[in-house]
Amino acid sequence: MSLLHGLHDPAAYTGAYVSIGNFDGVHRGHRTMIARLIERARQDGVPAVVMTFSPHPIEILRPEAAPPPLTTLERKAELLAECGVDCVIATDAGCLMNIGGCLHRRAAKVRTVHLAEVLAST
């Protein structure tokens, strides 16, 4: 399992199924979604990837309301690896401050790496 900081290594996630969310604590609900992600990725022979945020988006948007994290990024990656994820991508939540430009850049990168499917976590 690899932990990437940003979308800088397309070889690690090209064609992947990706789940996007904070995944703090990697609780039972996260594990259920990840199991579904891995099942579908394995069926199609593609990587199972989780994209998470570092720091948490609320730390950027409303720092006074930000709860303390349950896990460090490194521990989160360990927990996700234990679930069977092939790659964790930690992306800068500061991108949310410029959501239009960020989505445009991300959409271009998604087209470039040909992600097979995206599952979102709440």
pLDDT tens-digit series, residues 11-65: 888 888 888 888 888 889 889 989 999 999 999 999 999 988 888 877 777 889 8
d(CA 16, CA 26): 20
In this structure, are residues 48 and 17 in contact, taking their beta carbons and an 8 Å threshold?
A: yes
SS3 label, residue 16? coil
Domain boundaries, the chain: 2-120
What's the distance, CA 25 to chain centroid?
A: 14
Question: Encoding tokens for residue 36?
Answer: 């579904």
Radius of gyration of the chain, Cα coordinates, nearest whole angstrom: 14
When pLDDT is averaged across residues 63-80 and rounded to a whole number, the result is: 91
- Identify the CATH class of 2-120: alpha beta
